[in-house]
Structure 1
């Protein structure tokens, strides 16, 4: 195997596949990066058997030559050393060559590294997904969906199914839902021409988080394919595959109250900043509790107290308050997460009582929904 490549492009691909490589894998060869050279380009692969990432660098792209003098072949290299070597090479051009004894030489400028490789034949075959059953969406919209729901997955392994994001595609409507049983985040979007439906797949939150980091923020299409136990996200130069979580996701729709007793409209940023300030004194408390009390038809008071530290109270003017007077306590962290995720200037918050879950939505009725369970304070 041999090729000459632009160092920056190689680094970008390595950084992508490294997100799937874990030192804690039970299959030793998976601690390495697989490199495969073909005449049309090179493919790098990283996997920890939960997530697999393939990054492809074409030999030519829009008339620009990325890779020259390609001799086909493949090898697996230790991920512990290879990325750092490439990153610190002196020149912008890198020559990579391996012989039949799996000895690899990396040359750049006057620097030369010799590494021992492993046989790529021993690298596990990634499952191939049939991409007939797939749909496309803009990449930046997928990133938004992940950002607006992924933070609400559970970090506790006691109920593994809740560590994932529930995806549901029906009648060209795609819905993401995440809950850790104290809060819930969901959003739905229309999908054009989806020739596929799936009632329920659960993707590990960790996988979506890594995918979100890798994807560029643009509206280029990303193709999504689902089989019984894998999901594949495919862009022009990237394949990101994740296993799905086994089990039945809880029916979350019945958590969402049908009607409200109290509701108000408020500027998102003002409320966010006020709760953020109130939470400064709630740090000692286990779940950073703040209390919210409606005052008349335009004012809401946010307070927090910590017996050892002190108290804080701040009034905030809201657009309007409808319904009954209310005092409710909740985790400031959950509220801050929810408000940050919504990304609209104004939100509508609906309550059905001091001990019932409440809902935060964008004021313009966009189908983003955040639900938070209140905290009982004595």
Structure 2
């Protein structure tokens, strides 16, 4: 293999695919990036047990010549070193030549580097996915849906299925749900697909979705999503992102979401978030994160937290609307803040069915998202 390639385009592709290389691979080949050079362009691939990422660099982009492939071929190069060295090479062009036994020469300006490559035949083959049906989601919407749900996924490997986000598609509406048994987040959005196409119980690791979100370009781009038996393929620009689907059945969370409430509040989102944030500082010192909320006769609500060593924080907030019975409730302020930070509405609705029933938080502008937090049982 012998080629010359522009440094910027190569660096961008490496930054994309290197997210799939394992820092401590079980076998050396998984710590590498595979190069496949043809006269059409250069394909870079990296893979671990959960995700695979592939990026294609065409030889030309309009009038711009990006790569010149003198001799097609393949090699696997150690990711950790290669990622760092490409960023530091002095010239705008890089020449890569692979000789016998995968010995690789990298030249750029005054730099001449010899690298021991690995046999590309040992690199895992990417999954074959039937692409007969797919959905198309705007990149900014996909990133938003991930951001508004992934934080509620569990971080405990004792229940692996809960470390993921549940995806369901029904009648052209895509729904994400995540829960760690103490809280829940859901988000729905219409997507571009055949209305008869549907899937359910597709669970993708929260960590994987965070990596995917980082790859989706900020500019307006479309992401094509193909669901197979045990893999999901995301296609964007010149990048392919493969994710393993988590094994198991996600619990039915619909039954725990109350539809009627004893007490209902409508509050200013930012003012509530700021008040709870201040109370959180005190509760964090106590290592409990417990904050209390109580309705008052004058139409205000009181938010408070206390610490045996530091003292007490008390906030009073005006409510836009308060209906139902008086209420005193305690909750995890960190969980509440996580939910409030992703609500994209000036005002929000909070519904309570009593001191020990789930707390429901929703934006008032739309019905696209819902958050649930279980309250704390406290004394006093």
Distance 1:133 1:330 in 2: 43
The secondary structure found in structure 2 opposite 1:260 is: coil
The secondary structure found in structure 2 opposite 1:270 is: helix
Indicate whether 1:7 and 2:13 are aligned. Answer: no
The secondary structure found in structure 2 opposite 1:11 is: helix
Contact 1:42/1:58, CA 8 A, preserved across alignment: yes
For 1:295, the equivalent position in structure 2 comes to 296
Task: Report the Cα offset of residue 94 of structure 1.
Answer: 1.3
Distance 1:250 1:55 in 2: 35
TM-score by length of structure 1 reads 0.97
Task: Report the Cα offset of residue 219 of structure 1.
Answer: 2.8
The secondary structure found in structure 1 opposite 2:94 is: strand
Task: Report the Cα offset of residue 45 of structure 1.
Answer: 0.9
Indicate whether 1:250 and 2:220 are aligned. Answer: no
Indicate whether 1:197 and 2:204 are aligned. Answer: no
For 2:377, the equivalent position in structure 1 comes to 376
Cα-to-partner distance string for 1:220-278 (whole Å, 9 max, x where unaligned): 11111111111111112111111111111000001100101111111111111111111
Contact 1:20/1:46, CA 8 A, preserved across alignment: yes
Task: Report the Cα offset of residue 345 of structure 1.
Answer: 1.7
The secondary structure found in structure 2 opposite 1:278 is: helix
The secondary structure found in structure 1 opposite 2:20 is: coil
The secondary structure found in structure 2 opposite 1:14 is: helix
Contact 1:161/1:202, CA 8 A, preserved across alignment: yes
Q: CA RMSD in A?
A: 1.3
For 2:74, the equivalent position in structure 1 comes to 74
Distance 1:258 1:59 in 2: 57
Indicate whether 1:129 and 2:129 are aligned. Answer: yes
For 1:337, the equivalent position in structure 2 comes to 338
Distance 1:54 1:4 in 2: 20
Distance 2:57 2:170 in 1: 35
Residues 316 and 3 (structure 1 numbering): CA distance in 2 closer, same or farther, change over 3 Å?
A: same
Distance 2:10 2:197 in 1: 35
Contact 1:37/1:70, CA 8 A, preserved across alignment: no
Q: Structure 1 runs of 4+ off > 6 angstroms? A: none
Distance 2:109 2:202 in 1: 50
Task: Report the Cα offset of residue 39 of structure 1.
Answer: 1.4
For 2:51, the equivalent position in structure 1 comes to 51
Task: Report the Cα offset of residue 297 of structure 1.
Answer: 6.0
The secondary structure found in structure 2 opposite 1:80 is: helix
For 1:104, the equivalent position in structure 2 comes to 104
For 2:145, the equivalent position in structure 1 comes to 145
Indicate whether 1:285 and 2:281 are aligned. Answer: no
Aligned residues: 378
The secondary structure found in structure 2 opposite 1:131 is: coil
Contact 2:41/2:69, CA 8 A, preserved across alignment: no
Contact 2:37/2:69, CA 8 A, preserved across alignment: no
Distance 2:63 2:169 in 1: 38
Contact 1:361/1:370, CA 8 A, preserved across alignment: yes
Matches within 5 A, 1:300-315: 300-315=301-316
TM-score by length of structure 2 reads 0.96
Task: Report the Cα offset of residue 102 of structure 1.
Answer: 1.0
For 1:92, the equivalent position in structure 2 comes to 92
Cα-to-partner distance string for 1:165-224 (whole Å, 9 max, x where unaligned): 000011111100000000000011112233631121111111101101111123311111
The secondary structure found in structure 2 opposite 1:282 is: helix
Query: Where does the alignment leave 5 or more consecutive residues of structure 2 unmatched?
Result: none
The secondary structure found in structure 2 opposite 1:274 is: helix
Cα-to-partner distance string for 1:102-137 (whole Å, 9 max, x where unaligned): 111111111111101011111011111111121111
Distance 1:343 1:46 in 2: 36
Contact 1:104/1:117, CA 8 A, preserved across alignment: yes
Matches within 5 A, 1:108-187: 108-187=108-187
Residues 294 and 63 (structure 1 numbering): CA distance in 2 closer, same or farther, change over 3 Å?
A: farther
Contact 1:2/1:71, CA 8 A, preserved across alignment: yes
Contact 1:279/1:332, CA 8 A, preserved across alignment: yes
The secondary structure found in structure 1 opposite 2:342 is: helix
The secondary structure found in structure 1 opposite 2:112 is: strand
